[in-house]
Amino acid sequence: MTKKKSTQDVPEFFADVFKSMQSTMVSNPLIAPQAEHFWQTQEHLLEAMEAFTRSWFERRHEATRSAMSAARQAATQEGGSPGEAMQSIADWQRHSVERMVEDARGWLDMVTDCANYVSKAEVEAVEEALDGAQKATKAAKSEPV
């Protein structure tokens, strides 16, 4: 019968695994630039998405407020013509289309910005990794004194 590991052994196990991985990661010149650029890219993408989402929600709030105003205006025009009511609804619809166009423009700008950033970050990471690899191979080829 196999003996179960206690939960106290698990943290030691992970600590041992990370210790063994640490020497590999530190000595590998290809990993550090990749990891650094990966997390910088994540941060940039999150900031871009947050900015887009914030402006999208602002437009949705504006759409809701303007819809309430248009509905109120159309419903309370006592003695007003149906044409005036229809005009207030048409104005709301026109502004809604403008907001949707702005949504699409904002989304396209965000996606373009993120794609450019990711491409540049990847190129920089590869260049840094190559520089690190060249330095490591030069050091490995040197003769001991």
Query: Residue 19: CB partners within 8 Å, gap ≥ 6?
Result: none
What is d(CA 121, CA 130) in angstroms, rounded to the nearest whole number? 14
If we measure between CA atoms, which residue out of 105, 107, 103, 99 comes closest to residue 65?
99
Residue 1 confidence (pLDDT) above 60: no
What is d(CA 120, CA 37) in angstroms, rounded to the nearest whole number? 10
Tokens 């990993």 correspond to what residue?
31
Is the Cβ–Cβ distance between 114 and 48 less than 8 Å?
Answer: yes
With cut-offs at 50, 70 and 90, classify the pLDDT of residue 55: very high
More confident residue, 26 or 45: 45
Give the tens place of pLDDT for each residue, 61-107: 999 999 998 888 878 766 567 888 888 889 999 999 999 999 999 99
What are the residue boundaries of the structural domains of the chain, listed by start?
A: 38-138
What is d(CA 101, CA 43) in angstroms, rounded to the nearest whole number? 27
Task: Tally the C-alpha atoms within 13 A of residue 28's C-alpha that lie toward its C-beta.
Answer: 11
